[in-house]
Structure 1
């Protein structure tokens, strides 16, 4: 590959990263005033987390940690996660819902170096575009998904059911928004 092609590729990757970052900032700002966010700000938080008592799963994008909740109490966590990546941020939301589970899912968007679909074991889908919790290294980001180590991915897969509420938030943003209202 020529040096010019490498430089153009790096420029494209940098631009894609900036666009994705801007999208997260704008989405977070827009979501702060959404009906789901407004309702969430009125609910109690699960102590020690940035998510509310009505959620079953919580992801904090700032600390890269996640929890499972039962009846407003921590069932599991915090556990390390990896979010975003490949130019795609993990979507922020206060009222995302589990809509599908697939223990042996293969990605149609991400490919292995040999071109085969990337495995996404223990997938629990909670947002359009194939965004899911799934087994993967919590040290390596995924195309918008939430990577959990294998034992945690199994726990998420076994516990979460279709329709369960998932919250993906920035703890810093949640704290600031709640401070404005109180």
Structure 2
């Protein structure tokens, strides 16, 4: 409980998240730093949730500097701006690729904001929930939420849709453990 208070997570809900993740062993204790909002169900397309990254400033500064031209911190490798429907790939705080157009979660399946890490990639993934819908060039970063090739006209069940070219670029660039930041 002391560790939870130090993290600012005191309370029954945080304790349940912390103890539940430790008891099951499927999600590292770090996942309790940014637990998913219970009001926004995350779609489950495949793997267990990835451990979110604590939103912490860069060392030596009072705040996390943003990458030029994006709303994300300079430590992010991929940036998603939900309100502007755009995404970028970044390297060392500089835009490497983008902005590219995206679509994201529809009402009832909103794409959750936060800072996460890429958990795994699957070039030919098929949804386990939505009639084996194809999800080419999937890069999972928040449980069942992924970047993947999809319609730029239709909203998703929580994933971030990219054009084919952009999905290929994100798939080829992002690696397991890379930081993905999603801003509202």
Query: Shared topology, TM-score over 0.5?
Result: yes
| Residues 137, 149 of structure 2: 8 Å contact kept | yes
Equivalent residue number for residue 62 of structure 1: 83
TM-align CA RMSD? 2.2
Equivalent residue number for residue 134 of structure 2: 119
Question: Partners of 1:110 and 1:92 in 2: how far apart?
Answer: 23
Equivalent residue number for residue 42 of structure 1: 63
Equivalent residue number for residue 157 of structure 1: 171
**Residue 139 of structure 1: how far off its partner (Å):** 1.6
Q: Tell me which structure has the larger Cα radius of gyration.
A: 1
Equivalent residue number for residue 33 of structure 2: none
Q: TM-score, normalised by structure 1?
A: 0.68
Equivalent residue number for residue 29 of structure 1: none
| Residues 125, 133 of structure 1: 8 Å contact kept | yes
Segments of structure 2 that go 5 or more residues without pairing to the other structure are: 1-37, 41-52
Q: Secondary structure at the match of 1:108?
A: coil
| Residues 24-47 of structure 1: per-residue CA shift (max 9 Å, x gap) | 6xxxxxxxxxx9235378211011
| Residues 74-119 of structure 1: per-residue CA shift (max 9 Å, x gap) | 011110000102621111112x0001100000001112xxxxx100
Equivalent residue number for residue 23 of structure 1: 39
Extract structure 1 runs of 4+ deviating beyond 3 A: 37-41
Q: 1:93 aligned to 2:93? A: no
Segments of structure 1 that go 5 or more residues without pairing to the other structure are: 1-21, 25-34, 112-116, 171-182
| Residues 108-138 of structure 1: per-residue CA shift (max 9 Å, x gap) | 1112xxxxx100000000001x110000012
Within the candidate set 72, 75, 98, 1:51 is matched to: 72
Whichever structure has more strand as a proportion of its residues is: 1
| Residues 86, 142 of structure 1: 8 Å contact kept | no
Equivalent residue number for residue 16 of structure 2: none
- More moved, 38-47 vs 56-65: 38-47
Q: TM-score, normalised by structure 2?
A: 0.68
